[in-house]
Amino acid sequence: MEVLLEEIIEQCAPYKALGKPASYIPELAKGDVNDLGMYVILNNGQTFKAGDYKKPFTIQSVVKPILLLLALMDNGLDKVREKIGVEATGKPFDAINVTDQSLQNQHINPMVNMGAIAMCTLISGATYEERFQRLLELTRKLAGNNEIELDEAVYLSEKRTGNKNRALAYLLKSYGLIEDDDVESVLDCYFKACSIKVTCKDLARIAYVFSSHGKMPISDERIFPAEFAHFVNAVLVTCGMYDGSGDFAVRVGVPAKSGVGGGIMAVVPTRMGIGIFSPGLDEKGNSLAGIKALEQLSRKMYLSIF
């Protein structure tokens, strides 16, 4: 298996430089397009890795399924379904509006920025700092890594330049979809959530828990109900790769979530969790070489769920 991963890393090397790091967040623009790493955890607990799998990066939008999970754990499925929709927008992840009509709950997809900002209000906590800390602790728990921390430089960079996300948050507020008066605190929670620093191994372990429907590797400890994993995985299939989700479903065929930091978390239900990192992005904000690597792995190991 490790030989296969190394072969894929080598074969996908030409694609690394074809992508570009996210430039609208100054700290992310410093990403090295030569990086490409993979980490895989099988359902029997075996692990395999190749390339730059030790390189840390910020989780960015890969935090969205974790945000959704925590919202489910705090509120239950029915209440979350009342607050958010699950339909793909067909538009970029930071689109200002996804409909020509009045913005309603069903228009808020949890895998794009607007939906994730709204989900920050569904997390329990006396303050938004407490809510973020609970999200951070859940991320550490799922990844089995208590050393996961906030990347302060990326957080401050996002906060300084996140005017489009501010527009999204205040749009939600204007339609009554954010009830909190302190919109800036909601945004601060979101900026921090996106700035959690992880590795390929962390993403693979988190993906494994979703693949095993809520159970941790080795110990089999249940972290959350299986129905939450079914819900999150289904949303990932239809919406996890932004407005490239349909093409990704055809080419790779597994639930996955990308982030503009270059990470991809891929869930192969009952079989494995996969973490990939390569910061060169395509025009949709997905890791270009990362998708190529997943496409090869899926084809060679028959991973597609379709």
114 and 179 co-located in one domain: yes
69 and 182 co-located in one domain: yes
68 and 183 co-located in one domain: yes
- Asked if 297 contacts 304 with a C-beta cutoff of 8 angstroms, the reply is no
- Residue 110 belongs to domain spanning: 64-194
Query: SS3 of 18, please?
Result: coil
Of all residues in the chain, the percent with pLDDT exceeding 70 is 94
Q: Identify the H or E element spanning 226.
A: helix 226-239
75 and 34 co-located in one domain: no
Q: Identify the H or E element spanning 8.
A: helix 2-11
111 and 209 co-located in one domain: no
- 306 occurs within a structural domain: no
Residue 268 phi, psi (nearest 5): -110, 95
- Asked if 287 contacts 20 with a C-beta cutoff of 8 angstroms, the reply is no
* C-alpha dist (Å) from residue 124 to 132, 165, 222: 10, 22, 21
Q: Which amino acid is at 265?
A: M
64 noted as active-site residue: yes
Active-site choice (61, 212, 245, 298): 61
- Residue 38 has a pLDDT of 98
Asked which of 165, 194, 223 is the last residue of a domain, the reply is 194
202 and 291 co-located in one domain: yes
Active-site choice (252, 260, 267, 268): 260
Burial class (CB in 10 A: 0-12, 13-18, 19+), 61: buried
pLDDT band at 102 (very low <50, low <70, confident <90, very high): low
55 and 203 co-located in one domain: yes
298 noted as active-site residue: no
74 and 26 co-located in one domain: no
CATH number of the domain bearing residue 40:
3.40.710.10
170 noted as active-site residue: no
138 and 247 co-located in one domain: no
* Domain count along the chain: 2
pLDDT band at 95 (very low <50, low <70, confident <90, very high): low
pLDDT in tens, 17-63: 999 999 989 999 999 999 999 999 999 999 999 999 999 999 999 99
Name residue 37's beta-bridge partners. Answer: 51, 277
pLDDT over threshold 80, residue 96: no
- 295 occurs within a structural domain: yes
Active-site choice (39, 128, 190, 208): 190
Asked which of 134, 159, 194 is the last residue of a domain, the reply is 194
169 and 265 co-located in one domain: no
pTM: 0.94
pLDDT band at 79 (very low <50, low <70, confident <90, very high): very high
Q: Of 65-79, 98-112, 206-220, give the lowest mean pLDDT range.
A: 98-112
Distance CA 294, CA 306 (A): 15
44 and 190 co-located in one domain: no
Asked which of 137, 160, 194 is the last residue of a domain, the reply is 194
Active-site choice (208, 212, 242, 287): 242
98 and 138 co-located in one domain: yes
pLDDT in tens, 234-250: 999 999 998 889 999 99
Active-site choice (15, 62, 63, 64): 64
Distance CA 263, CA 124 (A): 27
Q: How far is C-alpha 136 from the chain's CA centre? A: 14
